[in-house]
Each structure stands twice: as structure tokens, then as C-alpha cells.
Amino acid sequence: MRIWLVVMLAVGCDSGKPVAGSGSAAAPVCSFDGTYRLRFHSNGADGWWLFLTVKDSAVQITGGQPEMIGLGWGKVAATLDPTRCTIVLASQTPRAGDMKLTLVPTSDGTVSGNITRTDAYGVANEPNTPVKGRRESAPQVTPACLKVGVYKLETDPKTTWKLDGTPRVPMGCKEAAPINSVSYVRVSVLGPELYVDEVAPGQPWDQRFGRGIVTRDGDCAITLAFDKEDVRFTNAKLVFDGGVVTGTAGTMSYDFFENGEAGENHWKCSSTQVKLAGTRVAD
């Protein structure tokens, strides 16, 4: 199977001094080495992670969810152009067709860009989607009170829930076991931004579709709205303290769907001022 992949990173660079007697500027001086932490849009969702490293002209995909755009992990062929300050990689994949990723870092380390793809889904829905992130030479430092990583978020077991709808099998919200746990989420920091993303409930903690809407209220305090497949909460005031997080959600609800001969039955349990507590369980 013929594979070729095109990824272009336009790296921030500094112009050299004019060449004596030439009347023109010398070629730009570019520094490509570093870690690229990027978030991109694919399959109807923003915020998929992609991690790259560049060292001594070698480019390697080291993590994230590259499969969302038809890529895999590991070393990839690359052309580094110090004259244009670009890195060009290349691949044609069954998932994304002719995929092109263009990144434009700036001198302060921020990166913007876009992805184009020619598969049927991409052409119809996402022919050109955004990318943003950072190029770093060292891990980002966070306050001692804020430890990034995977957290297990849980509700207060004493929460009083209100039933909305009629379960086919008579029961109340106390019998609906899933309401005892919210989700597993990954807390990440990228420059000034803090992200809360749903992950699978176990190793390797793969990223899922749920995304938090985060407002930073301080170094270790946020307001969070979160919506995943069956649970949502709004206006959650959360405070991080090392490997734990605590707070209260203004509103919260769990959806339940029952299938049967009569069709789908939907009911939910909801509450207000719900206490939340989380513990960091993984890097």
C-alpha cells in the first residue's frame, strides 16, 4: 500500500543580517527542535490532542489521538527547510485521504494552523479545520496546587436526585447506580489555557468525545461546564489542591435510555448544588 503524508510546520524564525555586497537578507535562521503539543478538530469535535517531537531533523509522533486524522505513532519521514522555516511530512491514509496539516508557530511559542483532508467525510463536513498549540523546549511549569493528569470525579453520595420521566422498570434515582460517579477526565494546561477532556475509565486513558468548557478563576480555580454521553453539569466551581479537586456544580443531570418493543424510553435524574470531589489517578 502506497503511503505518503504531508504535514507542514512553519516554524517561527529570525532573519539574519544582510549579506555584505548582496543587497539582500541572509536566509532565516530556524530552530526546529522541541515538543509540539497541539489540539485539532476532527470527527465533529474540537480538542483532539497530537504530540510531536523534532530533534536533529527527525520528526516523531509521540502521542495524542493521531488516528483521528489517519496517522499513527512513531518516526515519520520529514523534510526540514531552514530557508522557508518549514517542516514537511507526508501520507495518504484510508481514513483521511490526502491529508495536509499546516502549523504556524510564532516567536512566543504559540502555534496555529489547519488540517485539510480529502476523504468523503472530510470533504462533506470538515475540509479545512483548525489547529492550535505550542512548541516547547521544556515541560510547562504549573503551580504546586495544580497537578495535571487524569482525575476521577465523583458526586456526593448524599445528593438528593429528582426523577424526570417514567422508567419502564419501576425504580427511583437511588437505584440508578451510574449517578454515583461522574467521569474520568484529563486536566491539561497549554499556555494560559486549562482543558478538561473525557477519557476512558482505565489504561491507557484514551481521549473520548466529552469536552469541558473552562473559565479560569485563578491559578488553581475554575468554573466548569461538562457534557458527555450521559451526564452533564453546569457552573461547577472547582478548586485544585495538589492531587485533589473539590467544588459544587450548580446543576447536574444523568440521562437514561431504555430500548424495547415500544421504542426508546428516555428519563433522567437531576439535582442542584451538587458537591463534587476528584482524585488524581494517573499522569
Q: Which of 278, 218, 221, 227 is nearest to 253 (CA)?
A: 227
DSSP 127-194: SEEEEEEEEESSPPP--TTB--EEEEEEE-TT---EEES--SS---GGG-GGGGEEEEEEEEEETTEE
**Residue 208 predicted with pLDDT over 80:** yes
pTM: 0.85
- Give pLDDT tens digits for 117-147: 888 888 898 899 899 999 998 999 999 999 9
Three cell numbers at 216?
Answer: 479560569
Share of the chain above pLDDT 90, in %: 51
User: Within 10 Å of residue 246's Cβ, how many Cβ atoms?
Assistant: 13
pLDDT at residue 173, rounded to an integer: 87
Top pLDDT among 258 and 8 is at 258
Give 51's strand partners.
Answer: 37, 63
Q: Residues, the chain, total?
A: 283
pLDDT in tens, 145-188: 999 999 999 999 899 999 999 888 788 888 776 666 778 999 99
Mark 114-150 as b/e (b = at least 16 C-beta within 10 Å): bbbbebeebeeebeebebbbbbeeeeeebeebbbbeb
Domains delineated in the chain: 6-136 (2.40.128), 149-282 (2.40.128)
The x, y and z cell numbers of residue 74, run together, are 512513531
Q: What pLDDT, on the 0 to 100 scale, is given for residue 221?
A: 98
Question: Cβ contacts of residue 6 below 8 Å, gap of 6+?
Answer: 88, 89, 90, 91, 98, 99, 100, 101
Alpha-carbon gap, residue 42 to 18, rounded angstroms:
43
Q: Where are the alpha helices (DSSP H) in 179-273?
A: none
Quick: pLDDT tens for 82-103: 777 777 766 788 888 888 888 8
The mean predicted confidence, pLDDT, of the chain is: 85
Q: Using CA atoms, how far apart are residues 13 and 90, in angstroms rounded to an integer?
A: 23
